[in-house]
Amino acid sequence: MIEFEQGSINVYADLGFPDAGEMLRKAELATEIGKIVKARQWTQQQAAEVMGLSQPKLSELLRGRFRGISESKMLDYLTRLGCDVEIAVSAPRLAGAPGRVALSISA
């Protein structure tokens, strides 16, 4: 019999990465960038030119190798692709309860 363990929604947390939340958000942003490039039927070179980065760097990003790219830079790439990026801050939670950062992506 094969045993398995139920994971969470964040594979990076399951693997013990200290920056798991950030890595998940970056993965979501990279996925969205990939969807846009594919929907426009662009080559990586065409997309990279619009985004202001090299084709090899875009290729790395789309393969999930985005450790050296900040979330801020990835949001900038989305705006260069024509996306509107909105950042909302909600009211503070109860004292001592940490807040969270989450993405909400709409088409």
**Global pTM value:** 0.84
For residue 37, give the amino acid letter. V
Burial track 67-101 (b if 16+ CB lie within 10 A, e otherwise)? eebeeebbbbbbeebeeeeeeeeeeeeeeeeeeee
Task: Please give the Cα distance from 54 to 58 (Å, whole number).
Answer: 6
Q: Average pLDDT over the chain, rounded to whole?
A: 90
Are 44 and 37 a contacting pair, CB within 8 Å?
Answer: yes
pLDDT band of 74, cuts 50, 70, 90: very high
pLDDT band of 107, cuts 50, 70, 90: low
Task: Judge whether residue 96 has pLDDT over 90.
Answer: no
Task: Please give the Cα distance from 9 to 58 (Å, whole number).
Answer: 25
User: Looking at residues 16-45, what average pLDDT do you find?
Assistant: 95
